[in-house]
Amino acid sequence: MALRLSLLQVFAAAILASFSLLLAHGESAATVRSCTTHDHHNTLAELFPNSATGVLNATLAIIPISLETARRLIPPQYGILERAYRALVPSFPEGMYPLMVQAAHDHDVQLRAYGITIDDFSRVGFEFPLLDLAGDGYSSFRWAPAQLISATNPIALEGSRAYGTLVTPAKYEPLCDAYHRLANGHTYFRGVGLDSSDLFELEMARLSHAALNPYPLELFKNITNQPTFANATSCDNMIRLFNTSMTVGANAPVHVHGRVRARAFPFQEAEKEWTDIYGVQVATPFIENNYLECRSMRGYSGTGGPGDSYVHEANVNDEL
């Protein structure tokens, strides 16, 4: 597997090298460069030069859907670990399942040791957390079957397709940030398929107290650190750190409430709108281990547990 990973990295390096060359001579280069973001820079690249690292600035929102709907949408071979989400949110409504929308801006992604940097991109999609992919009754995996990804980033589009993800090239508002602020103070995010009618639109207002959010930060930390899969040929292990300067103090996660409008797989009916949705806006640095064998992640409990202690032992938290 180590060999497979390094081959993939070299492959990625090759694509990137030719892509940057193209960009340097193409018209789009100016457009890409003029795009300035408010995201903080990647603090992990130096510490983990042999891994893909980056910053993910995201709105994470929970849409409670009925367990029957969840069962209809999620492939039947993956059990739903209801006990796991009840342990995290005991008050979660009876008979419901926490579907998540992740609307994010990927910034400063690097594979430092190879001198690789990837252009920023946005992505959004429905994610089905807390699934029993390994069949052991307790390891949580997250099914992310489809994504809208910035059409301007072929590396991101292909990188996601390699998981068997249904990828829709998309354009975003705002172009270079995780969201922007409307005149009424709410945040706004919109992604629209270039050649399809797929769409996500989020408008969120800040909650005055974290206690008004029925979902604790722990739920989002837990979900976003679950290995992700699409067609389960391979799994993505993205370790998101919630205990760095990017996520504490002035940058602490913001609890939000608002609405999500969407038309995307696997909801194939007409456009839907959910109001009264709760979530958080949080930026985290991440370390990403791509294209792992899903079964090798059985028993993995993510950050907050061994994930953080691993980084902790390396003593990096103090320096971030």
Ligand X SMILES: *[C@@H]1O[C@H](CO)[C@@H](O)[C@H](O)[C@H]1NC(C)=O
Contact positions toward ligand X, by CB under 6 A?
Answer: 38-40, 57, 84, 87-88, 161-162, 164, 177-179, 222, 225, 231, 233, 243, 246, 248, 251, 283, 301-305, 317
184 with 163: CB under 8 angstroms? no
Closest CB 187 distance from ligand X, rounded Å: 7
Find the Cα–Cα–Cα–Cα dihedral 251, 256, 259, 265, rounded to 10°.
60
User: How far is it, in rounded angstroms, from Cα 40 to Cα 319?
Assistant: 15
List C-alpha distances in Å: 51 to 14, 67, 93, 183, 282: 16, 37, 39, 40, 22
Closest CB 126 distance from ligand X, rounded Å: 18
Strand partners of residue 100: 62, 127
Closest CB 272 distance from ligand X, rounded Å: 25
**E strand or H helix that includes residue 96:** strand 96-111
List C-alpha distances in Å: 281 to 31, 181, 221, 258, 308: 27, 13, 12, 12, 21
What is the amino acid identity at position 93?
P
Query: Which CB atom, from 23 or from 56, has the smaller least distance to ligand X?
Result: 56
User: How far is it, in rounded angstroms, from Cα 178 to Cα 77?
Assistant: 34
Closest CB 81 distance from ligand X, rounded Å: 8
Measured at CB, which residue is nearest to ligand X? 164
Query: Which CB atom, from 9 or from 139, has the smaller least distance to ligand X?
Result: 139
**Distinct helix (H) and strand (E) counts, the chain:** 7, 15
Query: Which CB atom, from 20 or from 252, has the smaller least distance to ligand X?
Result: 252
Closest CB 226 distance from ligand X, rounded Å: 8
Closest CB 90 distance from ligand X, rounded Å: 10
User: How far is it, in rounded angstroms, from Cα 268 to Cα 65?
Assistant: 15
Query: Which CB atom, from 63 or from 84, has the smaller least distance to ligand X?
Result: 84
Query: Which CB atom, from 289 or from 301, has the smaller least distance to ligand X?
Result: 301
Query: Which CB atom, from 20 or from 171, has the smaller least distance to ligand X?
Result: 171
